Structure 1
Amino acid sequence: SRFARLSLIDLAGSERAANTGNSGLRLREGAMINRSLLALANCITALTRKGAYVNYRDSKLTRLLKDSLSGNCNTVMIAHVSPSISSFEETLNTLKYAHRACEIRGMNGGVRENVCVAAAQYAERLRRTCIDATRGIGRTIAQLALP
């Protein structure tokens, strides 16, 4: 028999504990989220390597996503990123994560190349913007230093 499944999963943010200011239960929840995201990243990495064993048992998240990551399926990953310079590192890591997910090849032929290319192009534009901003700050400081 045939069946269809639609899974909508918000992967939350991989936050650095030091930046959140959380303690106690919230800190432990953040650690659990990060652990699940790491398990998912490990599954994605294994799926990009032909013949590699994929350990879906490391977290509840990967067990839930097993059918969506492998087999005859269509999977869409939406990476939410920020153009802010203060979020540069998180944005870059998110784009790297999404790019790795684009490398998964399922039984149905797998990836949507245009999505991967768009993520790579956005990462490159963001990198160039940050370099330009850094140069601009340096010029402004030099101008302020002149008498």
Structure 2
Amino acid sequence: MIHILTCNEEGKSKCLGKMNFADLAGYESARRNSVYGTNFIEGTQINKSLNALLNVIHAVNASETRVPYRESKLARVLQDSLGGNNHICLIVCLNLFFCPDTIHAITLASRLKHIKPVFARALYNKKTNQATRSSVCKENWCCAKRKESF
């Protein structure tokens, strides 16, 4: 996750941008991989998280009043991106030898493709930690001064 904050010359914050990078695990088939014990539990957790993400994407695309972001940590992290205020770029790696995995990946990609961005300027939240905001503004100011000295 990358946060970008712009400040004016007085050190007052103007707007905030955020970039999320997520490497999604593939759909795990317990029958195909013959996994037991810890690996089985991990595989089921991955599948639950991916299904929760699909539910969130479906709710966003259907413009439902309740979007289940709380069902998955991944969905919570990507909430700003999935909420329609940002662009989404998705890279999908398909495997010709595992058709169910490929179908699952294509389903996810096609649902993500239909999310329509709602462009709005994201203003910096005033409730955000003042120390973090001032340190970012100071760092930006120092970088600008170094750039001027070159």
Instruction: Report TM bin, short chain.
Output: 0.5 to 0.7
Segments of 5+ residues of structure 1 without an aligned counterpart are: 110-147
Report matched runs for 1:52-63 at 5 Å: 52-63=65-76
User: How far is 1:71 from its partner?
Assistant: 3.9
User: How far is 1:92 from its partner?
Assistant: 2.2
Tell me how large the CA RMSD over aligned residues is: 1.7
Higher relative contact order (CA 8 A, sep 6+): 2
The CA deviation string for residues 40-86 of structure 1, in whole angstroms up to 9 with x for no partner, is 0000000111244201000111111101111421111111102x2x3
2:83 to 45, 64, 70: 70
- 1:99: which partner in 2? 110
1:19 aligns with 2:32: yes
User: How far is 1:106 from its partner?
Assistant: 2.5
Q: Which has the higher strand share?
A: 2
- 1:121: which partner in 2? none
The CA deviation string for residues 83-117 of structure 1, in whole angstroms up to 9 with x for no partner, is x2x322321221122111111112139xxxxxxxx
Separation (CA, whole Å) in 2 of partners of 1:89 and 1:22: 17
Q: Flag as ranges the 4+ runs of structure 1 deviating above 3 A.
A: none
Percent identical: 34
Given that 1:47 and 1:105 are in contact with CA atoms closer than 8 Å, whether structure 2 keeps it comes out as no
Length-normalised TM-score, structure 1: 0.67
Separation (CA, whole Å) in 1 of partners of 2:35 and 2:72: 23
Query: Partner letter of residue 26 of structure 1?
Result: N
Separation (CA, whole Å) in 1 of partners of 2:24 and 2:66: 23
Q: Which has the higher helix share?
A: 1
